[in-house]
Amino acid sequence: MSKERTAPEPLSACDEALATRYDVALLDLDGVVYVGPDPVPDAPEYLRKAAKEGMRIGFITNNASRPARVVAEHLSSFGLDVLPDDVVTSAQAAAKLVAAEFPKGSPVLVVGGEGLYVALEEYGLTPVRSSDGHPVAVVQGFDPDVNWVMLADGAHAINEGAKWFATNMDETIPTAAGKAPGNGTLVQAIRAAVDVDPVVAGKPEPPLLETSIERLEAKHPLMIGDRLDSDIEGANAVGIASLWVATGVHDAYDLARAPKNQRPTYVAAGLGALAEKQPGVTVDGSKHSCAGWTAEIVNNAVSVKGEGEPYDGLRAILSAVWTAVDAPAEPVKTAKATARGRRPRPKPAPTADAIALDGALHRIGLAN
């Protein structure tokens, strides 16, 4: 059973370095620590510094293609001190879900790669390659070698009664060449041929993060990611703090348009934030201030003034936008309605898409 927690408010302040406030970092990998085979610039050095401050570094990935051992070897090639136990994959979280429902030795059809085979065996299950083995479950995870035959076999087993588990629903994955289709697109291929939805283990669903917190013995974890709809939403779902970094899929525009369940506790350019305090935002009427910047909404556009660090300006902008879009509808009084005794029509709050951001983001140096 998951522990009852409450995530801190978005854009919270932290009066000490994040690496000393939180005992364990739960780091997403793709777009945060590495992109393809190469590390995000300076990320390994920042993580080594955080570890010296006493923060345990855990690596949490929705990508189920590789076993934890192989991921640890990849990370160690960057000069990081990483053991397989420091890595938790969505394949392990999915295998744990299957093991909770079926007895040891049960056959499970794999639509994916080595990461799923190893995880299933770790939990005492028997991975099989064909639906001819009458599997009790189908587990699907991303692997570049997944093909039509594997997808079709998964659909056949599900239609014959096997329970379907998916490691994650990410529609894309970051690669050195840009975005590429992720496991979510492959799940949709099977979904077109079956009448049920899968049980999902990976972010933003709770199982992966709950499994990670348990395995890494985290008391005060900090989820760190680049994706709002998986990393940040997942952290909010299990009630833990989150740090969004700008090294991967989503950008400042996406942040400004984020719904409530995808808003992070902290925002930063990258992992250097682990060694830093985090400023909060003060609100005075319509004005939202962070360090040297002040932002407000004027005629459905963000106006920002001041100077200083770009991400301080971004925090002020986000506070102004989120406050505006979250505001309750205001009644609009008209002379005609008042004369006839009618209730005034409500004036809806602006949507994030309707608020012009380009000028403000350009002003702080974060425009696309």
Q: Within this chain, do residues 166 and 129 fall inside the same structural domain, yes or no? A: yes
Show which of 224, 241, 275 is a domain's final residue.
275
In a domain, 69, yes or no: no
Q: Within this chain, do residues 103 and 169 fall inside the same structural domain, yes or no? A: yes
| pLDDT of res. 1 | 41
Count of domains forming the chain: 3
Q: Within this chain, do residues 195 and 99 fall inside the same structural domain, yes or no? A: yes
Q: What is the CATH number of the domain that holds 252?
A: 3.40.50.1000
Q: CB of 361 within 8 A of CB of 254?
A: no
CA separation (Å) from 236 to 8, 10, 25, 168, 171? 9, 10, 15, 17, 20
In a domain, 46, yes or no: yes
For residue 222, the cross-strand partners are 25, 241
Q: Within this chain, do residues 147 and 237 fall inside the same structural domain, yes or no? A: no
Show which of 224, 245, 275 is a domain's final residue.
275
In a domain, 24, yes or no: yes
Q: Within this chain, do residues 47 and 109 fall inside the same structural domain, yes or no? A: no
Question: Which of 113, 114, 159 has its CA nearest to residue 134?
Answer: 159
In a domain, 78, yes or no: no
Q: Within this chain, do residues 337 and 243 fall inside the same structural domain, yes or no? A: no
| pLDDT of res. 228 | 96
CA separation (Å) from 76 to 55, 79, 114, 188? 17, 5, 20, 34
Tokens describing residue 122: 């770790």
Catalytic residue among 15, 23, 30, 326: 30
Quickly count: other Cβ atoms within 10 Å of residue 119's Cβ: 29
C-alpha span between 23 and 241 (Å, rounded): 12
Q: Within this chain, do residues 218 and 257 fall inside the same structural domain, yes or no? A: yes
Task: Please name the residues in contact with 323: beta carbons below 8 A apart, sequence gap of 6 or more.
Answer: 283, 288
Quickly count: other Cβ atoms within 10 Å of residue 352's Cβ: 18
C-alpha span between 188 and 142 (Å, rounded): 12
C-alpha span between 115 and 23 (Å, rounded): 28
Q: Within this chain, do residues 96 and 191 fall inside the same structural domain, yes or no? A: yes
Q: Within this chain, do residues 191 and 252 fall inside the same structural domain, yes or no? A: no
Would residue 28 show up in a list of annotated catalytic residues for this protein? yes
C-alpha span between 50 and 53 (Å, rounded): 5
Q: In which element (H, E) is residue 212 found?
A: helix 206-215
Q: Within this chain, do residues 171 and 100 fall inside the same structural domain, yes or no? A: yes
Question: Which of 227, 228, 253, 281 has its CA nearest to residue 355?
Answer: 253
How many CA atoms, within 13 angstroms, populate the side-chain half-sphere of residue 52? 8
Burial class (CB in 10 A: 0-12, 13-18, 19+), 335: exposed
Show which of 275, 302, 323 is a domain's final residue.
275
In a domain, 10, yes or no: no
Q: Within this chain, do residues 215 and 186 fall inside the same structural domain, yes or no? A: no
| pLDDT of res. 340 | 62
Question: Which of 311, 312, 327, 313 has its CA nearest to residue 303?
Answer: 313
In a domain, 74, yes or no: no
Provide the residue-wise pLDDT of the chain in tens; the chain has 368 residues.
456 799 999 999 999 999 999 999 999 998 999 988 899 999 999 999 999 999 999 999 998 999 999 999 999 999 999 999 999 999 999 999 999 999 999 999 999 999 999 999 999 999 999 999 899 999 999 999 999 999 999 999 999 999 999 999 988 877 778 888 999 999 999 999 999 999 999 999 999 999 999 999 999 999 999 999 999 999 999 999 999 999 988 999 999 999 999 999 999 999 999 999 999 999 999 999 999 999 999 999 999 999 999 999 999 999 999 999 998 866 665 556 555 666 666 666 678 888 999 999 999 999 87
Domain housing 126: 91-200
In a domain, 2, yes or no: no
Q: Within this chain, do residues 133 and 155 fall inside the same structural domain, yes or no? A: yes
pTM over the 0.95 mark: no
Would residue 153 show up in a list of annotated catalytic residues for this protein? no
Going 86 to 87 to 90 to 96, the CA torsion angle's sign is: negative
Catalytic residue among 15, 23, 28, 195: 28
In a domain, 84, yes or no: no
Task: Please name the residues in contact with 35: beta carbons below 8 A apart, sequence gap of 6 or more.
Answer: 174, 175, 176, 247, 248
| pLDDT of res. 130 | 93
Q: In which element (H, E) is residue 243 found?
A: strand 241-245
Please give the full DSSP string across 5-34, using - where no structure is assigned: --PPPTT--BSS-HHHH-SEEEE--BTTTE
